[in-house]
Amino acid sequence: MKTAVELTQLFRNTGRKVTAQRLCVWRLLEGNTSHPSAEVLFEEARRELETISLRTVYQVLRELEELGECMSLDLGTGASRFDPNVDAAHHHLVCTSCGKVRDLYADFPSVEAPKTGLDGFQVGSAEIVFRGTCAECKSNAGLNGSTRPKALVS
């Protein structure tokens, strides 16, 4: 999780220009634990930079991913979710009702692919996704019939 200043260096060092858009997207992502989608970041970004385009947000996110400064998560919520926390190993809780994504910092030492019976499949990583219902959706249960993930409504 780099600061905006560090990102500036990184952009320069990789031959990229330090633009308001790049900084803005990074600032919105830095330390953000909500795992926003590109759309959500776009909505937030245009509050600061009224003319920023969704296209640019996608481009910057891709770049940040290539630079190893964020990762995109496919959690089955429709859109990719972006996570700036690439350093600390962690897992995710996904609300199947609203699409909210929370971090779960817990070590599961037993989660390691067996050595045998893999038919030569070489395992690189293990992700655990816990699915369930977030507190908010639980208390709203029955009030409305909405099954549509709120976090994804454009």
Binding site for DNA (CB under 7 A): 11-12, 15-22, 37-39, 49, 51-56, 58-60, 62, 72, 78-80, 152, 154
Decide if 133 contacts 97 (C-beta within 8 A). Answer: yes
CB 139, min distance to a second copy, A: 8
- The only residue of 30, 63, 65, 103 in contact with Mn ion, by rule CB under 5 A: 103
- DSSP-based three-state secondary structure for 58: helix
Does 69 bind Mn ion (CB under 5 A)? Our answer is: no
Candidates 20-28, 50-58, 92-100, 121-129; binding stretch for Zn ion (CB under 5 A): 92-100
Q: What does the buried/exposed string (b/e) look like for 120-141 if buried means 16 or more CB atoms within 10 Å of the residue's CB?
A: eeeeeeeeeeeeebbeebeeee
CB 82, min distance to DNA, A: 9
CB 149, min distance to a second copy, A: 13
- Short-list 91, 77, 87, CA closest to 126: 91
